[in-house]
Amino acid sequence: MNGLPKQGAGTGGDLGNEVEGYLLWQARVAEAEQRAREFTGSLDWLTTAQREEIERRYAADSLRRARADLERVAARCMSLRAEYEQRYRELRRRCLAMTLAVCAALTTVAALLLAL
């Protein structure tokens, strides 16, 4: 569970993004381990082996939840991107149609004026 969350193959990320992602994930790992130590700190009756096992499981659960959260955010980002790209294509199509309609109207008006 200490590894970096895997990115999609076609994301186009560069080395800087990968390094940033790695560093952010390592900070998340350190935070999970620290929270696990704080959790078991008040449990004085635990043996060393029990304390280590609880810390390991607590940190693993925290990282599993963090990974799930990141995957949900990434999926939502991808769906939003697809939605915005579709809207942009529609807007571009409408702008082109409006431009062609205005040009056709102006050409018609100019032809009528020249005919008079």
pLDDT, tens digit (0-9, with 9 covering 90-100), for 29-82 = 999 999 999 999 888 898 999 999 999 999 999 999 999 999 999 999 999 999
12: alpha, beta or left? (left if phi > 0; alpha if psi -120 to 50): left
pLDDT tens, position by position, 76-114: 999 999 999 999 999 999 999 999 999 999 999 999 999
Model pLDDT, residue 35: 94
Model pLDDT, residue 2: 52
**Does residue 58 contact residue 24 with C-beta atoms inside 8 Å?**
no
Q: How far is CA 15 from CA 12, 22, 75, 94, in A?
A: 10, 10, 22, 38
